[in-house]
Amino acid sequence: MKKSKVIYIIAVVVALILVGQSVFILDETEQAIVTQFGKPVGEPRTDPGVNFVVPFIQKVQFFDKRYLEWDGDKNQVPTRDKKFIFVDTYARWEITDPLQFFIRLRDERSAQSRLDDILDGETRNAIASHDLLDIVRSTNRDPEVTEDFMEELEVLEDIEVGREAIEEIVLQKANERTSDLGVRILDFRFKRMNYVDEVRDRVYDRMISERNRIADQFRSEGQGEARKIQGDKERDLAQIQSEAKREAEEIRGRADAEATAIYASAYNKNQQSVALYKFLRSLEALENSLDEKTSLVISSDSDLFQYLKQMQ
């Protein structure tokens, strides 16, 4: 191989290396600063596109332009009314000034550690400055009554601040402390809250006691209602039996009256038949015992005389 060709190849390789070291491409999700001997130079590079640096002397530090996640540790915190609770939080943040961020924090790992100190501290301060009701509730509202027994429950106590306002306080205080770090906290929320084990057991016992009280109330009301229904049943049964007896006596009386009338009518008809029979028998006796030569003396009190008299 000729010496000139070798030199040409070396020159091309060196040129490619120089181009690779002097050009970098920034996409939409990134922002960067250029450092020279460890110190930042120039303005932060935030617009996507091709950028140039001095090769081998200047280096590029990339930072995320998107919203970043912060997830806090679950900590045990006392409230103002001396209730110990576990608080689990989360937040979203972004790098607003890459240069200041690099100077104060250098990288995202350091930023996450710094946010742990700031947000956890402000969370403790906020929890310790407010009662438990303010932390778990956001508004003063009347409870929705879905069952009749809930009308007898105690009315909810009014809150002074509320959960959303406390989250806003933590967010505001934290942003005041991060204003010189080149970052901004976009949102802060309580992800979960719960009592410590000892307090939670007492709360469960209280809930069980309350439900047992409601159950006993239901049983008492049910027994009272059952006794009322039983009394109404016995009263109605006695009334029905009394009315049935009265109606039976009325029917029996009407039946007796109709039977008496039937008996009387039958008796009257029977008396007329007996009188006719006696009359016919008397005529038959007279026919058999009398002829043209026979004379008959009859008393005026006899039945035969009465028949002959009636025939006249």
Q: What's the pLDDT tens digit per position in 142-178?
A: 766 565 555 555 566 778 888 999 999 999 999 999 9
| Confidence class for position 129, pLDDT limits 50, 70, 90 | very high
pLDDT at residue 302 tops 80: no
What contacts 281, CB < 8 A, 6 or more positions away? none
Architecture of domain 68-195: 2-Layer Sandwich (3.30)
Q: What's the pLDDT tens digit per position in 230-266?
A: 888 888 888 888 888 888 888 888 887 887 777 667 6
Residue 201 confidence (pLDDT): 74
33: nearest Cα among 110, 115, 106: 106
| Between 116 and 277, the higher pLDDT residue | 116
Mean pLDDT of 203-215: 81
Where exactly does CATH 3.30.479.30 map onto the chain?
68-195
| Between 286 and 197, the higher pLDDT residue | 197
Give the chain's mean pLDDT.
Answer: 81
Q: What's the pLDDT tens digit per position in 258-271?
A: 877 776 676 666 55
Helix, strand or coil for residue 292? Answer: coil
Q: What number of residues does the chain have?
A: 312
Whether residue 167 contacts residue 138, with contact meaning beta carbons closer than 8 Å, is answered with no
